[in-house]
């Protein structure tokens, strides 16, 4: 199969879809890999490293997209990339379509087949291709929050862990999944006062067994969220419904009643965000202030630690890329129900129910699409 790895063009996105080790594995199996020049430059991987792994290196995205049958990348195709897509081409990447109708319409019009990392599942009910980036984003959220709580950054001037005789900061985490759990670990590690709110009693039970009295857990209700968020110093939104838009758990009124200089970090922003005041930001302009509360809503948080993120992501995606290449995309989707759940767009149709509902567009099942 002809596989293409473009250079990411989203603002301050330095991750890369395939690292040289993954390229070598594909070429060892008889596939052809083309990499756009400087695709790995942001994580200190040279064109020569890709050539040594057996890849062809081309100078332009136009040449790469024209050559490849399967595009493996990190972030959703940007408008200039969508213009290069052709009917029948396969895109394997993070898409987050529920919060991006313009992208969805562009992909539908192009006639491509799109498999979204974030809705691929595993046998344990998890999201294996989202998990490594959720781990990174969860851990980063605490670092980011600590930074913006500093007075010179506009924050309340609070040290997360406090010092003897001075209370630690109050950190509230909405969602106890992979991102929320990693955020909790980091926040507890610096001795903050940490509360996780989740709607799953079984997940709260697991967190209690894992962390004991270090972590405080609450069942998700409007009342509990309000009582915890209003006095919080740092609130981390880590809510995920696979494929769907994130629920708005914190209202604008609630944000405006928080203490000035508090910080919100919305990891859920890729799916629209879980604070009513959230709007997407970039690494070049990561924050804004509303209601005297600092909002950090960067849509590609793990891109800030691009080298760590790229290798972690490749560990998870490579087995699926190999399936797509070895079997052909259609057979691979038919054979693997978990990969099939990643199918979001198929030749002009939405093939994930939650995505269709979020966008207000009709959808068909992946099974139905593949059978026609």
So which residues are the catalytic ones? 96, 270
Long-range contacts, 193-198 (Cβ 8 Å, 24+): 193/167, 193/168, 193/169, 195/170, 195/171, 195/228, 197/172, 197/173, 197/224, 197/225, 197/228, 198/174
Q: How far apart are CA 232 and CA 226, in angstroms?
A: 10
Partners of 295 in beta bridges: 264, 288
Partners of 288 in beta bridges: 295
∠ Cα 265 165 233 (to 5°):
15
∠ Cα 334 95 64 (to 5°):
85
Q: How far apart are CA 161 and CA 168, in angstroms?
A: 5
| 3-state DSSP of 52-79 | HHCCEEECCHHHHHHHCCEEECCCCCCH
256, 225 in Cβ contact below 8 A? no
Residue 203 tokens, joined:
């997940």
Place of tokens 């399936």: 323
Place of tokens 């309340």: 156
User: Helices 178-189 and 131-148: crossing angle, nearest 10°?
Assistant: 40
39, 62 in Cβ contact below 8 A? no
């Amino acid at each position: 199969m002809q596989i293409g790895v473009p250079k990411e063009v989203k603002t301050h996105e330095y991750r890369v879809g395939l690292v040289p080790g993954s390229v070598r594995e594909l070429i060892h199996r008889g596939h052809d890999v083309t990499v756009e020049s400087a695709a790995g430059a942001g994580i200190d991987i040279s064109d020569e490293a890709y050539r040594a792994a057996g890849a062809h290196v081309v100078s332009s995205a136009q040449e790469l997209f024209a050559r490849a049958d399967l595009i493996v990348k990190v972030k959703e195709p940007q408008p200039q990339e969508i213009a290069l897509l052709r009917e029948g081409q396969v895109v394997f990447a993070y898409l987050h379509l529920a919060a991006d109708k313009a992208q969805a319409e562009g992909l539908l019009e192009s006639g491509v087949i799109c498999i979204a990392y974030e809705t691929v599942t595993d046998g344990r009910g998890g999201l294996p291709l989202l998990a490594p980036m959720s781990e990174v984003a969860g851990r980063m959220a605490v670092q980011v929050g600590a930074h913006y709580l500093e007075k010179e950054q506009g924050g309340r001037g609070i040290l997360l862990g406090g010092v003897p005789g001075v209370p630690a900061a109050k950190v509230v985490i909405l969602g106890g999944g992979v991102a929320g759990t990693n955020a909790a670990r980091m926040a507890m590690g610096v001795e903050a006062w940490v509360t996780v709110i989740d709607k799953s009693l079984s997940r709260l039970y697991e967190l209690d067994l894992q962390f004991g009295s270090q972590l405080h857990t609450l069942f998700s209700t409007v009342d509990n969220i309000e009582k915890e968020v209003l006095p919080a110093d740092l609130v981390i939104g880590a809510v995920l419904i696979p494929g769907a838009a994130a629920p708005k758990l914190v209202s604008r009124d609630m944000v405006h009643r928080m203490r000035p200089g508090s910080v919100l970090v919305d990891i859920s922003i890729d799916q629209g965000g879980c604070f009513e005041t959230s709007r997407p930001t970039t690494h070049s302009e990561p924050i804004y202030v509303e209601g005297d509360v600092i909002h950090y809503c960067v849509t590609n948080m793990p891109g800030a630690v691009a080298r760590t993120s790229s290798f972690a992501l490749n560990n998870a995606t490579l087995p699926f890329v190999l399936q797509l290449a070895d079997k052909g995309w259609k057979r691979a989707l038919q054979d693997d129900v978990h990969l099939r759940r990643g199918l979001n767009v198929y030749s002009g149709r939405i093939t994930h129910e939650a995505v269709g509902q979020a966008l207000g567009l009709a959808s068909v099942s992946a099974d139905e699409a593949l059978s026609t």
